[in-house]
Amino acid sequence: MKNQDASPALDGGLSDDAAPRPGWFKRLVAQEDLNFLLTNRVPRIALTKLMGRFSRIESPLLTRLTIAVWRCFIPLDLSEAKHTQFRSLKDCFTRELKPGSRVFDARPEIFASPSDAIVGATGIVRQGQVYQAKGFPYSTEELFGPTQDASAFEGGRFVTLRLTSAMYHRFHAPADGTVEHVTYLSGDTWNVNAVALKRVERLFCRNERAVVRMRLASGHAIALVPVAAILVASIRLHFLDVLLHLGHKGAHEMPCSSPQVKGQEMGWFEHGSTIIVFVPPGFELAEGIATGAQICAGQALLKLVS
């Protein structure tokens, strides 16, 4: 079995001794090593809890200073924000947008993106297996946890949506339907960026996450799996009025019957993270959806074809 931190070959399988490496490749690997070291070889859970406390400090001056420093490293754009003065960093992370900033595709056959995101791995669920990156599979059974049956998605599609720290952090109902169950699974807080996904096996199955099961108006069962990551202090679910976090002491199985209208706000992350979408057979990717594409909440993500 591979070491969980082992880096897969990036050149078709040749080892370092099998072929010379160009200078740009060595620089890229060095940058990836540094990125991985700074974002994963740290006390992840302790930093995440500390970030949660810090982000809730209500001080407009401290918040402005923190955002100014943040912008030195991250292309944070607040031009669409409903308000640009924030009491705390959490208020900035979970900011609302101006009315009309996100328009959801109203066509009934369209499954809209629940969030702003960069599209990660996509594909077909085969024998209960999906991929977080090339050569790094994980099982839907492990991701969903021991209480949930993921067999409904065999032969269906999965789409990985990664939210960066600068993006709009709220997520919405991708179609009309009813949320029927939520399972909360506590876990680690590995970074979910591309570097970590190429190095840490079964990363999404290791991290804190929620499995949101939903029945669409069309009758199809779908699942949204919000996955937390380092510095993500919590996942807020409005329809249950619950805040899921590493110190959550409430029920981990939350049956419900909550009607949702396409575009209705379902919750938010308190930092960047990931949502993995699962749909049963009968859906195909919408035009323009491919790994690396940057999309907005409401944009067509999948299309029901049968």
**Locus of tokens 């160009």:** 22
Distance in angstroms (rounded) separating the CA atoms of residues 301 and 306: 16
Beta strands per DSSP E along the chain = 110-112, 117-124, 129-133, 136-139, 157-163, 170-172, 177-185, 209-216, 221-227, 235-237, 242-244, 253-260, 265-269, 273-279, 283-285, 294-295, 300-304
Helix ranges (DSSP H) in the chain: 23-40, 44-55, 60-71, 89-93, 140-144, 194-197, 203-206
Distance in angstroms (rounded) separating the CA atoms of residues 123 and 157: 6
Q: Which two tokens stand for residue 119?
A: 């599209």
Distance in angstroms (rounded) separating the CA atoms of residues 228 and 225: 10
Question: Do 5 and 195 meet the contact criterion of CB atoms below 8 Å apart?
Answer: no
Q: Sign of the C-alpha dihedral, residues 50, 55, 59, 62?
A: positive
Distance in angstroms (rounded) separating the CA atoms of residues 119 and 135: 18
- Is 172 one of the annotated active-site residues of the chain? yes
Of the candidates 272, 250, 242, the residue with the CA atom closest to the CA atom of residue 186: 250
Among 169, 172, 245, 271, which one carries the catalytic annotation?
172
Among 88, 113, 115, 116, which one carries the catalytic annotation?
116
What is the number of alpha carbons within 13 Å of residue 133 lying toward its C-beta?
A: 18
Q: Which two tokens stand for residue 266?
A: 């379902």
Residues carrying an active site annotation: 116, 172, 273
